[in-house]
Amino acid sequence: MKQEHIDRINELAGKAKREGLTPEETEERDRLRKAYIADFRKSLEAHLENTYVVDAKGNKTKLQKKR
């Protein structure tokens, strides 16, 4: 996600605390938050796909999905 989108999320969060948001701003904030969460999950999944657990004997085992 671009830094400008993160800055906009923070700007809208601050405005919501100070004075409230218009319905359009609330919709924009929700859309940006969903995109941020989706990007975060995608990044985390990619990181976990390249993670291995090493047991006491030195054997490497790739993490398995629980689903």
Nearest-CA neighbor of 16 among 34, 24, 5?
A: 24
The per-residue pLDDT for 65 is 82
pLDDT given at position 35: 96
For residue 67, is it within any domain?
A: no
Q: What is the pLDDT along the chain (67 residues), one digit of tens a residue?
A: 899 999 999 999 999 999 999 999 999 999 999 999 999 999 999 999 999 999 999 999 998 888 7
Query: Could you give the number of structural domains in the chain?
Result: 1
Domain membership flag for residue 33: yes
Two tokens, residue 16: 């919501």
CATH of the domain at 23: 1.10.287
pLDDT computed for residue 1 by the predictor: 84
Position 35 in a domain: yes
| pLDDT value of residue 36 | 96
Question: Where would I find the H helices in 1-67?
Answer: 3-18, 23-49
Give CA torsion, residues 54, 58, 59, 61, to 10 deg: 10
Q: What is the pLDDT of residue 11?
A: 96
| Identity at 36, one-letter amino acid code | Y
Q: Assess if residue 49 is contained within a domain.
A: yes
51 inside domain: yes
